Amino acid sequence: MADVMPATRQISITPIEGGITAPTGFRSAAVHCGIKARPLDLAVIAVDTFASIAGIFTTNLAQAAPVLISKRHLDTSHGIGCAIVVNSGCANACTGEEGLANARRMAEAVADALGCPAEQVLVASTGVIGVALPMDRVVAGIQEACSSLAHGKGGDAALAIMTTDPFPKEHAVRVTTRRGAFAVGAMAKGAGMIEPNMATMLGFIATDAQVTPSLLHRALVESARDTFNAITVDGECSTNDTLFAMASGTSGVTIDEELYPALLDGLLSVSEPLALGIVRGGEGATKVIAVSVYDARTVDDARQVARTIANSPLVKTAVHGADPNWGRIVAAAGRAGVRFDIQRVTVRIGGILLFENGLPHDESAPTAAEILKRDTVDIEVSLGGGDASATIWGCDLSAEYVRINGEYRT
């Protein structure tokens, strides 16, 4: 009977060790070159031969030099790459022509050391903005890193990209299909951080599946929609946000339309825990809030309402204080710019019904207040007028967020 089952049902996914270098065909190295005081501040991830490569970037009009250079390189190389270089401690943003030259020079230094075209090297930076990179140190650091590339050292790379993240974020899985197995590994750094002056998110995904650049891009966009693009710490969007995916092909498993769901599942499996880790490690966050909106007319409507609730300071402070304040949830939904009938809306916290038919269920408030003391809180809103849904992950707003962002001085 196996033949009549769709291929998508024949996938098994198992967590494995190794982070970004769990897939075969990738080597990495992390060094301290002196951009900042931390032990590690620069990492190179290189493919043994070459890889398909795809990128998603910040939609902010103010784009940092590494974002502009990486976009250009992706265009020029038609999605073929040999390495990514990433530094923390300096965002190389708002740095003008000098910044663009420095981002190019980072790619060239990697290309020189590895013997590949500079257009096949992508660049990412995170850290303080408006400050030039110390290029002598950076180039020396790149040379040191490229001479010490090794398999299985992804953990150091995950440390090197941290700014004030409270913990490193990496994850890897083995995806087994009826046509063979491949691995997907990933690392990320968080949003809502003090050091970058704004919320920079960097994510890196590697797989040893064989994938064309265009199929890899499609899977990256699709997986990010429900993971990295479905989180919010404070609604900010930085100059440097970047998400890269690389496919080395060394597993021998070729992704076609039949196996596309397996690739997508693999990407989702590593992206979701990293995205949630970013929220949990958000500035001052004490709780993750999963806002799910159901029965909307379109997915965009559902996402817009969920995002408005997740970014509402009154909802975020209510959750922080374990206050089952359905009124703030209803009011945030009502100002989201999406049309629905308020009389058909229901609001639940952790499954407890608090608002229905335009009226409160205050008798359930004490139960909901207990649920709000947990470190992950589900807010469920039905708009009662469609069959589309979406979930956005956010976090609570604490006095600590104000302290971190208010007491910092440039």
Q: Given candidates 5, 76, 214, 408, which one binds its own copies under the rule CB under 8 A?
A: 408
245: Cβ–Cβ under 8 A, 6 or more apart, which residues?
53, 54, 55, 204, 205, 206, 207, 216, 217, 219, 220, 267
Closest listed residue to residue 172, CA positions, set 127, 132, 205 = 205
Give yes or no for residue 326 binding its own copies (CB under 8 A): yes
Per 3-state DSSP, what percentage of the chain is helix, strand, and coil (rounded to 5)? 35, 30, 35
Give yes or no for residue 96 binding its own copies (CB under 8 A): yes
- How far is the C-alpha of 107 from the C-alpha of 118, rounded, in Å? 5
CB 34 within 8 A of CB 89: no
Q: Given candidates 182, 204, 355, 393, which one binds its own copies under the rule CB under 8 A?
A: 355
Q: Which is nearer to its own copies, 186 or 368 (CB)?
A: 368
Shortest Cβ 334–its own copies spacing (Å): 4
Burial letters 320-354, b for 16+ CB under 10 A, else e: bebbbbbebbbebbeebebebeeeebbbbbbebeb
Residues in the chain: 410
Give yes or no for residue 231 binding its own copies (CB under 8 A): no
Active site residue: 200, 207, 227, 232, which one? 200
Q: Given candidates 30, 35, 43, 129, which one binds its own copies under the rule CB under 8 A?
A: 129
Shortest Cβ 384–its own copies spacing (Å): 12
Give yes or no for residue 236 binding its own copies (CB under 8 A): yes
Q: Which is nearer to its own copies, 5 or 342 (CB)?
A: 342
Give yes or no for residue 394 binding its own copies (CB under 8 A): no
Cα dist. 57→89, 139, 221, 233 in Å? 19, 24, 11, 18
Give yes or no for residue 399 binding its own copies (CB under 8 A): yes
- In 10 A of CB 292, how many CB atoms? 18
Q: Taking contact as CB under 8 A, which single stretch among the options 75-83, 101-109, 292-300, 395-403 is the one that binds its own copies? A: 395-403
Cite the DSSP H helix spans in 147-245.
154-160, 213-225
Q: Given candidates 62, 181, 276, 371, which one binds its own copies under the rule CB under 8 A?
A: 62
Q: Taking contact as CB under 8 A, which single stretch among the options 40-48, 133-141, 164-172, 398-406 is the one that binds its own copies? A: 398-406
Q: Given candidates 69, 332, 377, 379, which one binds its own copies under the rule CB under 8 A?
A: 332
Q: Which is nearer to its own copies, 62 or 80 (CB)?
A: 62
Give yes or no for residue 198 binding its own copies (CB under 8 A): yes
CB 92 within 8 A of CB 64: yes
Q: Taking contact as CB under 8 A, which single stretch among the options 26-34, 164-172, 210-218, 311-319 is the one that binds its own copies? A: 311-319
Closest listed residue to residue 239, CA positions, set 13, 388, 68, 361 = 68
**3 state SS of 54:** strand
**3 state SS of 74:** helix
Residues of span 137-166 touching its own copies by CB under 8 A: none
Give yes or no for residue 402 binding its own copies (CB under 8 A): yes
Q: Which is nearer to its own copies, 156 or 234 (CB)?
A: 234
What amino acid is encoded at 367 in this protein? T
Give yes or no for residue 287 binding its own copies (CB under 8 A): no
- How far is the C-alpha of 170 from the C-alpha of 174, rounded, in Å? 14
Residue count, binding to its own copies (CB under 8 A): 62
Give yes or no for residue 126 binding its own copies (CB under 8 A): no
Q: Which is nearer to its own copies, 46 or 91 (CB)?
A: 91
- Positive or negative CA dihedral for 338, 341, 344, 348? positive
Q: Taking contact as CB under 8 A, which single stretch among the options 101-109, 220-228, 357-365, 387-395 is the one that binds its own copies? A: 357-365
Q: Taking contact as CB under 8 A, which single stretch among the options 60-68, 76-84, 147-155, 295-303 is the one that binds its own copies? A: 60-68
- How far is the C-alpha of 299 from the C-alpha of 301, rounded, in Å? 5
Q: Given candidates 78, 358, 370, 374, which one binds its own copies under the rule CB under 8 A?
A: 358
Catalytic status, residue 242: no
179: Cβ–Cβ under 8 A, 6 or more apart, which residues?
253, 259
What does the block give as tokens for 170? 């990496």
Give yes or no for residue 101 binding its own copies (CB under 8 A): no
Give catalytic residue positions: 200
Q: Which residues bind its own copies (CB under 8 A)?
A: 59-63, 93-96, 129-130, 197-199, 234-239, 312-314, 317-318, 320-321, 323-328, 330-335, 339-340, 342, 355, 357-360, 362, 365, 369, 397-399, 401-403, 405-410
